[in-house]
Amino acid sequence: MSEIKQGYKQTKVGIIPEDWEVVKLGKIAPLQRGYDLPTDSVQEGIYPVVYSNGILRFHNEYKAKAPGIVTGRSGTIGRVTYVEDNYWPHNTSLWVTNFYDNNPKFVYYMYINLDLTKFSAGSGVPTLNRNDVHIQDISLPPLKEQEKIAEILTTWDKSITKQTELLRAKELLKIALMQKLLSGEVRFDGFSDEWEEVRLGEIGQIVTGTTPPTDTKAYYENGQFPWITPTDINDKKDICKSERYLTSLGLEKGRFIPKGSLLVTCIASIGKNAILTVDGSCNQQINAILPSEKNNINYLYYFIEYKKDYLIKFAGQSATQILNKKSFSSLKIKLPSLSEQQKIAEVLSLADDEINLLKNELEELKLQKKALMQKLLTGEVRVKV
């Protein structure tokens, strides 16, 4: 057993500072079920209505005074919302009824650190039993230290909020750039040629993926060729990894897609797209535009992203939207010269690089805050008060 350093003590929740105490969560921040809204309630109001997944609307009455802490009772479990105005906790939520002279913001971070998802029950709609939460033992610092911990973590939250706003602004700027550059509204110096209207099927070979029999191990086991499905495609432009891979035999049985191809989802989640950066394959929910020297594949990626709503509309409004190979191939597109395509793609790629940098910085901030929160809320790192 490791030696307990001076100023700390061993407890049932672990080693904590000597001046901290161990208490049941229900004794310092008990939860109560929220309230149904009146059936004749109106959308307009000044008081936030807090559901299991946050503030979704406003009402003209409130049930609880600020500050408040609300978390999910049914549906979304694990999200904790801090409310700075008088509010209406919805029936789908649980709210803290009394802070017993503890710092509300500290209690908020304590609830986040507890990770309420582990108390979720039910095979259908996830639910949270407040009694399971109330009996949890937690370590509680003196009020002055609570206030200082809350102040530090609030500073991190402000940095995360600022970074989120910067990211959103950059994403909006990219959308504006796409609208102007991909429509030809704004042209670069030196380009004045009229754009040519063609169909997608005319700019390169289009193939639809397939699914090799999934019960044949020889097609998948220890495979090295990515077999892309719509769930593998996210918001990244390039893709080289997948949940499942094909062997050489699987690739022969499936559909070979060369690197540099543009993959576009055409069933259900219409319009998701990515550029395959290695040789691989895809399933039948994806149409692939194979690379051509006549066009810039990065430009085509941004054009499909820009026209995603058009693709969805073209797919129709059936229960499961489908944009088959024939329909996909017939979609019209206005193309500038190859050199102008390259210039447009370069500018939008730079915007993507800036967005990805901001995203990475945001994720790093969140990870740093999570690590700091764990150390502060256990007393591993002390603060001066």
Q: What is the pLDDT of residues 170-214, one digit of tens each?
A: 999 999 999 999 999 999 999 999 999 999 999 989 999 999 999
Q: Contact 112/90 with Cβ under 8 angstroms?
A: no
Q: Contact 81/104 with Cβ under 8 angstroms?
A: no
- Distance, in Å, from the CA atom of 306 to the CA atom of 5, rounded to the nearest integer, reads 59
pLDDT, residue 309, reads 85
pLDDT in tens, 328-381: 899 888 899 999 999 999 999 999 999 999 999 999 999 999 999 999 999 999
- Distance, in Å, from the CA atom of 70 to the CA atom of 32, rounded to the nearest integer, reads 9
Q: Let me know the angle formed at the C-alpha of 265 by 259 and 271, rounded to the nearest 5 degrees.
A: 110
User: Could you tell me which residues come within 8 angstroms of residue 1 by beta carbon, excluding any fewer than 6 positions away?
Assistant: none
pLDDT in tens, 237-291: 999 999 999 999 999 999 999 999 999 999 888 889 999 999 999 999 999 999 8
Grade residue 319 by pLDDT with cuts at 50, 70 and 90.
low
- Look at the block and give the residue holding tokens 């929740």: 13
Is there a cis peptide before residue 38, judged by omega within 30 degrees of 0? no
pLDDT in tens, 37-67: 886 665 678 999 999 999 988 988 999 999 9
Segment 131-147 shows an average pLDDT of 96
| The 80-83 sheet, strands edge to edge | 31-33, 93-96, 68-72, 80-83
Question: Which residues make beta-bridge pairs with 89?
Answer: 50
Q: Burial letters for 181-213: b for 16+ Cβ neighbours within 10 Å, e otherwise?
A: bbeeeebeeeeeeeeeeeebeebbebbbbebbe
Given a cut of 80, is residue 86 above it in pLDDT? yes
Q: Is 65 exposed, middle or buried (0-12, 13-18, 19+ CB in 10 A)?
A: exposed
Residue 364's CB is within 10 A of a number of other CB atoms, namely 11
Q: Identify which of 34, 30, 99 has the alpha carbon closest to the alpha carbon of residue 62.
A: 34
Q: Let me know the angle formed at the C-alpha of 365 by 362 and 370, rounded to the nearest 5 degrees.
A: 130
Grade residue 323 by pLDDT with cuts at 50, 70 and 90.
confident
Find the length of the chain.
385
pTM of the entire predicted model: 0.85
User: What number of H helices and E strands is found in the chain?
Assistant: 11, 23
